[in-house]
Amino acid sequence: MITLSINGMNVSVEEGTTVLEAARFMGITVPTLCHKDGLSPYGACRLCVVEIGEGPKAKLVSSCTYPVEKGLKVRTASSRVIKARKMILELLLASCPQSKTIQDLAAAHGIRQQRFKQEHEDCILCGLCVRMCEEQMMAKAIGFRGRGENRSIGTPFDIQSEVCRLCGACMYICPACQLRCTYTEPERAICGGCENLVPPCIEKEQFDDMMCYMRPCIACEIRKD
């Protein structure tokens, strides 16, 4: 058992546990995007960064890939961490605003605008689909191609795959293409509405053209009549 300190509290976990698992074990929320229980950690989105160490040598590391160490001092929400997470979320919104997952994460961190040139990409290259296909569905039909700007996910040389069973696991797990926000004006799509607004079931009229993804409760059903 290895003892480390997270946000000032001591916790003892088994060797091989990641800092993210240890933090969640203690009930501390750490946002993630490219991490999924059951898939190997990848460390690409960098949202789960936490600050370790003290003084001038303190640095940020992705908690989903960092194994616990004896005596490690972890801070999951220091000012450096929060600033970094906010900038990453701004960058995410600037690339892929129509993803509800990203919108919700941004709203939860108080971000309502992004200062970069707006793009509308379909993929954030988090690699969940690749790992899902390889590790859970055992097909390994898709992978990463290219480097930097030209990096993409697909089948080798874009040839139709012989091992793809059309199971749809890649679509299921994707944070960008699941639950798309379909607000009619793309430029104003970063509204934070899903997280922050009063549920549309109460004041549905002003949100007539918005698709609501909240879990339907009895109020929605009654209103229909």
Contacting positions for another protein (CB under 8 A): 42-46, 49, 59-62, 65-67, 69, 80, 83-84, 87-88, 91-92, 94-95, 115-117, 124-127, 144, 146-151
* Beta carbon of residue 44, minimum distance to another protein (angstroms, whole number): 5
* Beta carbon of residue 167, minimum distance to another protein (angstroms, whole number): 25
Beta carbon nearer to another protein, 121 or 221: 121
Beta carbon nearer to another protein, 156 or 216: 156
Beta carbon nearer to another protein, 25 or 116: 116
Centre a 10 Å sphere on the Cβ of residue 168 and count the other Cβ atoms it contains.
9
* Beta carbon of residue 174, minimum distance to another protein (angstroms, whole number): 15
Beta carbon nearer to another protein, 6 or 48: 48
* Beta carbon of residue 30, minimum distance to another protein (angstroms, whole number): 14
